A and B are shown apart, each in its own frame.
Chain A
Amino acid sequence: MMNNYIVRFLIGSLTSIILGLLYMGIGRKFIARIRRCYAGPFYQSFIDVIKLFSKHSISHHWIMDFGIMMGFSGIIATVIFLPIGNFYVFPDMKGNLIIIMYFMTIGYLGMAMGVSASGNPNSPIGIGRALALMIGYEIPFALAVILLIFANGSSLLYNIIQTQQGSIYNWNLLKYPFAFIGTIIALQGMLGEQPFDAMIAPAEIASGPMVELSGKFLGFGFLQHASQIFLETGIITAMFLGGGTIIGFFTKQLFLYLLTLSIASVFPRFRFEDGVKFFWTIPTSFVLFQLILFLIKR
């Protein structure tokens, strides 16, 4: 039984890393095509990660090493609770939404702790922006989660997927379109794409949190971002696009990621407090409208 869990764990975590990197590579090609150029091959991200792990690196303190590892493992541990198609690592906890939302934060905390220990003031500036944006996008996202939990009477992603089976008309995307719009905007902030990329702003604060990361530490950052893409698109796929079998699930995830990137590639950057204001007004009112409609109908 223990072996069984270890195998499942490895399948879950490695799938998320590999597919996340693949999505990143495809995404880079996609953006390049929008800009009418070609970019590297689709497996470019794998090359980058291997190269980063083959470089020497520096660290300012053991807390930095520990924090970066904790950040990576936090995201991986969250992916374990995500349904991957119809595959679950723990069959008795099929995608517990509240746990997923809270487990994600340990990844952020670990990363934030690691880069703060580097002592470069650019990193806490970036982290401060990221956390402030987080309090922004968490509101529409939490409202959407509450809506779906009420509608399904369960906080398991498994049950939310089950009620969407059958035909495309059962998808929550069509049942709750306004909630979907709000959540997509929140996803933009979660992934830190433009216009909500104030935390990494390379020209202003020298890529923010990553400023002191070198070699394998940056590699961990890459892997963390890859699993994060997998995780966050996965949550929204399960919530609104009906989950699906393995291939369908991955296709929907990729579609969501490319949608995010196509928004990102035509937008400039918000100041982060304006970003928070935006999140608290437009997407929140979309989801709130849907929630109120739902409550009235009930």
Chain B
Amino acid sequence: MIIGLLFYGIILSFLALFVRKKYNFLRWIIFSFYIFLTLFLTITIGKDSTYFETFNLISILNFDLSLNFRITPLGWLFTLFTTLLLFLTSIFSIVKNKNEDAERLINFFWFILIISNTGLFLADDLFTLFIFWELIGISSYFVISPGWVSSFRAVNYYFIFSIICSFFMFSGIMILYEGTGTFSIQKNVLYFISLFENSPLNAIFVAISLIIGFFVKSALFPFHIWPAQAHAKAPDDFSSVLSGIIIKYGLYRTILFFIPLFLFIKEYPVNHIMVNNIPLFSHILAWSGAITSIIATFLAIESNDMKKLAAYSTVANMGYITTALFSLSSFGIAGAIFHTINHAIFKTAIFLSIAAVKYRTHETQMHKLGGMAYKMPVTFLTFLLAIISAAGIPPLNGYVSKWMIYQGLLSSKFPFLTLAIFLSSTGAFMYLFRALHSIFLGQLPEKFDNVKEVPFLMQIPMYILMFLMVSIGIFPQFVINLINSVLTSYNISNINIKNSMIFSPLSGIDSVKVFLAFTGSFILAFILYLIGKPRKHVQPLDTYTAGQDPADFNLTRELYHFAYKFYGPFEHMFDSFRTDTKEFYDSIERKINEIGGYFRDFQSGSIRGTIYTFMLSFVLIIIYWWLL
């Protein structure tokens, strides 16, 4: 069934290539239809872990290359929510891409992307995983930069990081293959664990080469810069996919390999360095997540481009997820997976509402916008709910997962990691409010007086996303039950949940009651509002201006919008630190340029140089092979 799905996907993608340019929307409708089909099949198959499929690709010299698919609870969960969000984004894209040029091939690459998405999460062996991993890298490369100069630099950034990442991943996979003689993920993970017992040096090399891919793809410190480039410059609808979904692939692979390993070490800690009852390596990873979240938060506070701000927010959220994941308690892991899903939902909502604003105004600098809420109420509401969710404020979905993350960190006694998360989530509130104010509130500039709400087809995904955010916030048990089955498959104790009441070692919450408390208070507020004397509407410029009539000093609404350098004095506090970091990165860039220049001279000089390079690398490979 899975192979059939992928195969039909390829056929449909070629079919869509031949659609006339006049009927552009048809191409995107085919695309949406295909994603819907995938979603439908994912739901019908169910999370039954015995389902297995194989497709023999080629078999040479005992080198059995076949595509194997298996449904695991984790893979199924990831497939489900990524497909759902891709479906919503594709509906948004139908209108958005109707009038764009050069998108015949982009549609094709979107197809490749969604096919690989399904393939990646359902893959049963490393070979299949790697193929789809690469396909995603390549297809997203073309989608980010459909021939635009502005995004070309950004996409190169992304592509180079992707290549580094897949190189390391491939070498890690090959070392594992050498040991097991098979690509099966389960066997390789077991071998990986045993490798840690037998030859730790080798194992650490494999671990590092596998983890580097994770660091790069999930933009952890010190690779936290590329999302701000790539996500900000990608087409608006694709940014939501990049930020909501593609950044999660590294995380998925890390859960596959490292969670069983660390849990094993945690259980049998002989011969291993343990810090606070978890392995040292895991502790370091948790800290890198925390540092990432803090740095990305402060970068987000500073950025003035709304897509950049959202991209840094994604990086910060990846930081929380990593920290929670590697705290290795059942609440931490469950919270991490739950936050991955929640983050995908609210980040898609944020990027879609940003895309809607940009669709109408063609502007991404926040200080040039303002007052969009008065013209685009649905977009505003989506953004509002999304930032409430992103800041982890009850009663929307973000708070359940953030609460679980805190329970995980606090119950396994990590004081400073918890503090880091506290710091960055308060910072999150700062930059999210800044975005809300600068884009949607304040004064509406005169040039946007004729802006209208986006077409109804674009509003549909927003309504669905709002519904998802509210309903998961009130009834988290539906998602937590799915996560519980993932935890069972890793032999971790389940989250204790009874209806909507979640019990943790430290406390318990009932999200229905949390919601009711808020609703009740709102009703009380509304009654008080009705009791008070009536209010009247006034013009936006009729504000307190110290007695001066705005018309007298040519005050326009655009001038009166306070958004530029919103946290100016606060940013000045970090001036010295910022210069140091910038100098550090600049010096690295200079070094890399130097080395690159050296190689360029070496190669383009003469054919002899090229041969020398080739021979040198050959010798290096032999030495490398020897050493292992």
Contacts and interface: CB of A to CB of B under 8 A. Distances in A.
- Asked if chains A and B are in direct contact (CB within 8 A), the reply is yes
Interface of A: 5-6, 9, 13, 53-61, 63, 65, 69-70, 72-74, 76-77, 80-81, 89-90, 92-93, 96-99, 102-103, 105-106, 108-109, 112-113, 116-122, 124-125, 127-128, 131-132, 134-135, 138-139, 142-143, 146-147, 149-150, 153-156, 206, 211-212, 215-217, 219-220, 223, 271-273, 276-277, 291, 295
Contacts, number: 246
Interface size class of B (residues with CB under 8 A): 35 or more
B422 A154 contact: no
A134 B423 CA distance: 10
Q: Is the interface of A mostly helix, strand, loop or mixed?
A: helix
A277 B394 contact: no
Given A13-B520, A93-B513, A122-B544, 9 more contacts: A96-B507, A99-B399, A120-B544, A128-B570, A131-B567, A132-B567, A132-B570, A147-B415, A273-B570
B419 A109 contact: no
B561 interface: yes
B427 interface: yes
B520 A90 contact: no
Interface in B488-532: 501, 505-510, 513-514, 516-518, 520-522, 524-526, 528-529, 531-532
A99 B508 CA distance: 10
Given A102-B402, A135-B426, A155 B506 contact: yes
A154 B507 CA distance: 6
B522 A92 contact: no
Contacts of A119: 371, 441-443, 540-541, 543, 557, 560-561
Interface string B535-576: 111111111101000000000010011110011011011000
B392 interface: yes
Contacts of B542: 58, 60
Nearest to B414: A146
A156 B546 CA distance: 48
A63 B501 CA distance: 33
B517 A77 contact: yes
B540 A103 contact: no
B339 interface: no
B399 A76 contact: no
Contacts of A112: 433, 437
B410 interface: yes
Interface of B: 371, 373-374, 380, 384, 388, 391-394, 399, 402-403, 406-407, 410, 413, 415, 418-419, 422-423, 426-427, 429-430, 433-434, 436-437, 441-443, 501, 505-510, 513-514, 516-518, 520-522, 524-526, 528-529, 531-544, 546, 557, 560-563, 566-567, 569-570, 572-573
Which among A89, A90, A125 has the greatest number of chain B C-beta atoms within 10 A?
A90
Contacts of A80: 517, 520-521
Contacts of A96: 507-509
B509 A116 contact: no
Contact of A98 (B403, B429, B518): B403
A99 B540 CA distance: 36
A277 B570 CA distance: 10
Given A54-B533, A105-B391, A220-B525, A155 B517 contact: no
A206 B544 contact: yes
Contacts of A106: 388, 393-394, 518
Given A119-B543, A211-B544, A139 B419 contact: yes
17 contacts: A53-B532, A54-B532, A63-B441, A65-B529, A72-B525, A73-B525, A96-B508, A119-B540, A120-B543, A128-B570, A132-B570, A135-B426, A142-B418, A155-B506, A156-B506, A216-B528, A223-B528
A153 B290 CA distance: 23
Nearest to A67: B441
Contacts of A154: 506-507
B509 A273 contact: no
A159 B540 CA distance: 50
A155 B503 CA distance: 12
B393 A60 contact: no
A215 B535 contact: yes
Contacts of B393: 102-103, 105-106, 109
Contact of A150 (B415, B436, B517, B560): B415
Contacts of B410: 146, 149-150, 155
A273 B544 contact: no
A113 B441 CA distance: 8
Contacts of A108: 429
A47 to B, nearest CB: 16
Contact of A61 (B374, B430, B505, B522): B374
Nearest to B427: A135
Contacts of B541: 119
B533 A220 contact: no
Given A132-B430, A139-B419, A143-B419, A73 B535 contact: no
Given A103-B393, A113-B441, A77 B518 contact: yes
B422 A139 contact: yes
